[in-house]
Amino acid sequence: MNNLHSFTSDQLSTSDNYKLLSGLIIPRTIAWVSTLNEDGSVNLAPFSFFSSVPSSRPLITLGIGNKETGVPKDTVRNFLREKEGVVHIPNKDDLVTLNATSATIPYGQSEVTEQELNLVPSNVIKTPALATSRVRLETKLYKEVVVNDHTGKQDASVLLLEVVNYSIDPKIVDDRYYTNITQLDPLIRLSGPNYGHLYDIYSYDRPDHESQPS
3-62 per-position pLDDT tens digit = 898 889 989 998 898 889 988 888 999 999 999 999 999 999 999 999 999 999 999 999
pTM of the entire predicted model: 0.91
Distance (Å, whole) CA 56 – CA 45: 28
Task: Please determine, for residue 68, whether its predicted confidence score (pLDDT) is greater than 80.
Answer: no
Contact 31, 129 (CB under 8 A): no
Q: From 86, 161, 152, select the one nearest 124 (Cα to Cα).
A: 86
pLDDT (mean) for 113-119:
92
Beta bridge partners of 162: 59, 140
- Is the pLDDT at 137 greater than 90? The verdict is yes
φ, ψ for residue 14, nearest 5 deg: -55, -45
pLDDT for the residue 201: 84
Per-residue pLDDT, 35? 97
- The amino acid occupying position 196 is G
**pLDDT for 212 beyond 60:** no
The residue ranges of every structural domain in the chain are: 25-199
- Integer Cα distance of 147 and 156 in angstroms: 5
Q: DSSP strand E in 56-134: where?
A: 59-65, 84-88, 119-120, 129-130
Q: What is the pLDDT of residues 160-200, one digit of tens each?
A: 999 999 999 999 999 999 999 999 999 999 988 999 988 88
Query: How many angstroms separate the CA atoms of 40 and 108, rounded?
Result: 9
Looking at residue 213, what is its pLDDT? 52
Does 202 have pLDDT greater than 90? no
From its phi and psi, is residue 177 left (phi > 0), alpha (psi between -120 and 50) or beta?
Answer: left
Whether 69 has a pLDDT exceeding 90, the answer reads no
Describe the chain by its helix, strand, coil percentages, rounded to 5: 20, 35, 45
Q: Is the model's pLDDT at 157 over the cut of 80?
A: yes
Q: By the 8 A CB rule, do 137 and 87 touch?
A: yes
What's domain 25-199's architecture?
Roll (2.30)
